[in-house]
């Protein structure tokens, strides 16, 4: 690097600190790299297999800063940063209509976009402002501000129609809670 080392650059960074993978021809700095929470330390010449392994680790490993941030609850005034393939989105919380579980991933529905992120629905529920969101069933959380109509459904369930055309069934157990929450 022309103006110093990678360690010099790290000292200049402020939070949040990104994931760090060192690539170097010098092995004497490996211990120091891990002291600054580097995700990996690759020696040149870099093998493609080893680089792929480091990149996969980067995609699935939360940084120290991310784990601290991941415990704070959003407010309805917040915006969330979402990476969707090659695009980065900065979406206001209030524009999220629906969160839907897809295994360990969650699909986030807004008016025009449906990015899929690597976070479980349970993890997102812990962070969402529950004064505007409601857990409809095991696999879906709805934004109450996007409800257009509600109808009684089978076996005491409710069917909610959201703006944009999504329909969500509120389970019988959650329907009771929903009725209590929404009643005058």
Q: Are 59 and 120 found together in one domain?
A: no
Q: Encode pLDDT of 63-99 as tens digits.
A: 544 444 456 788 888 888 887 777 778 889 999 999 9
**46/55 Cα distance (integer angstroms):** 13
Q: Are 143 and 171 found together in one domain?
A: yes
How many CA atoms, within 13 angstroms, populate the side-chain half-sphere of residue 95?
13
pLDDT score of 54 more than 60: yes
Q: In the block, which residue shows the tokens 């040149």?
A: 44
| CATH assignment at residue 137 | 2.40.50.1020
Q: Are 44 and 89 found together in one domain?
A: no
* Higher per-residue confidence, 122 vs 70: 122
Q: Are 108 and 137 found together in one domain?
A: yes
Q: Are 84 and 52 found together in one domain?
A: no
Q: Are 142 and 63 found together in one domain?
A: no
- The average pLDDT across 53-57 equals 82
- The average pLDDT across 60-64 equals 60
- Please give the model's pTM, rounded to 2 decimal places: 0.62
């Amino acid at each position: 690097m022309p103006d110093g080392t990678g360690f010099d650059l790290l000292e200049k960074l402020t939070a949040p600190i990104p994931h760090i993978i060192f690539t170097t021809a010098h092995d004497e700095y490996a211990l120091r790299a891990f002291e600054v929470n580097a995700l990996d330390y690759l020696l040149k010449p870099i093998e493609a297999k080893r680089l792929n392994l480091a990149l996969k680790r980067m995609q699935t490993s939360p940084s120290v800063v991310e784990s601290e941030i991941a415990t704070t609850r959003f407010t309805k005034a917040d915006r969330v940063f979402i990476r969707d393939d090659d695009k980065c989105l900065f979406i206001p919380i209030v524009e999220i209509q629906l969160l839907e579980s897809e295994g360990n991933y969650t699909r986030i529905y807004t008016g025009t976009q449906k990015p899929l992120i690597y976070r479980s629905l349970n993890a997102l529920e812990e962070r969402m402002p529950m004064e505007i969101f409601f857990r409809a069933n095991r696999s879906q959380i709805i934004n109450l501000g996007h409800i257009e109509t509600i109808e009684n459904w089978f076996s005491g369930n409710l069917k909610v129609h959201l703006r944009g055309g999504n329909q969500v069934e509120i389970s019988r157990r959650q329907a009771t809670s929903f009725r209590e929450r929404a009643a005058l």
